[in-house]
Amino acid sequence: MLTDQDVKKIVDVHREVFSTKEEFAVFRDEIRKSFSTQLISIDSYAKKADTYFQEWLCWRTK
């Protein structure tokens, strides 16, 4: 049979292991911001690489 102390331990562990809706919402927002930042960086790199390739191609065909 579970004692009050056992139940308290279970509740405490449950709070540590499982996130609340608020914690998950904050985590989701952080992930979205991080993903957005990475996507902007990748787009910037792709644009620079494309410009470099086009310039190289023009130079090569002259």
5 within domain boundaries: no
| Domain region containing 45 | 21-62
30 within domain boundaries: yes
Tokens coding 24: 């998950």
Q: What pLDDT is stored for residue 34 in this prediction? A: 95
51 within domain boundaries: yes
Reported as a pLDDT band with limits 50, 70 and 90, residue 18 is confident
Q: Which residue has the higher pLDDT, 2 or 27?
A: 27
34 within domain boundaries: yes
**pTM given for the model:** 0.55
Reported as a pLDDT band with limits 50, 70 and 90, residue 19 is confident
Reported as a pLDDT band with limits 50, 70 and 90, residue 60 is confident
Number of domains in the chain: 1
Distance CA 23, CA 18 (A): 10
Tokens coding 12: 């405490």
